[in-house]
Structure 1
């Protein structure tokens, strides 16, 4: 009986290790026999799912370091290839010029719906064209200029009041740090409105 239990125990421990090895081998083969080696038009492969798992606690910084070396690159998983890009021309192509070639897919819409809603960022096809038409009206030069001027004036006035408060009090401050919540010297600053 002990021999049987030992065999079962070894089998249960070895099966996951074999599966991990086979998965790693499959991904490695995809990397070295992938399209990017044969065709330079494809983005280079910079890693696999395992690389992301190794950098799990630092994933954003890890991807940023990769983006510095190559503005467009691919990551492979056992089922698909993910393309990351920081090149503005590629972003414009995906979001504007070549939009019809890139579908968001129902699964991505479900996952991202809480963050983006059902708006332009998750729309496909005709729905996207309608959303874009509506958005382009809001981003016309005159509307955008009027809005941004108003926001700039309001925030510039607030900034001048804060800086004046520090100047009146003779205090040194760091522009990169938020000011302390109650700034008693603000009352001494002259109004700008």
Structure 2
């Protein structure tokens, strides 16, 4: 018999999710850097000691929150673009959808606010999860050398971060930039030469 507390890992997961949900609500209403651990514990309805049992510090909580949201966002984006057969169009649609999903989420968009240092840029650059999800998306478009894909994924994360912090004039302007500069590099046409934007 495995012991009485066989549900303990599930309980821990539910408790951590509740804390991250409370943090997300706070992030939606104020800049991420101004949200403290006391605020999160109060919003989650738990003590500071309980909060620190699940997240050793604010950086660990930020990382867990970003990774959870990155998985969720990646799943939504993948569902939106799965039916697009052309890899170049799927790439373009995926990039646009990813930025739109971040911007539509008050909790996520606050990470890229320029009033303070945009904490989302640093998190995106350092997150192995975001890099892996981006690499996986690029590999789904066409097979390639994993090291090259990893370098391209790091660059792509920086491009998208830049656009989230300094957006184009509108969605069409951003799409044109992505189509002209990003798509040809990440997903060249069959002849290997960049195609002209529409």
Larger radius of gyration: 1
Q: Identify whether the pair has TM-score above 0.5, normalized to the shorter chain.
A: no
TM-score (norm 2): 0.28
Greater strand proportion: 1
Higher normalized helix content (fraction of residues): 2
Q: So what's the TM-score if we normalise by structure 1?
A: 0.29
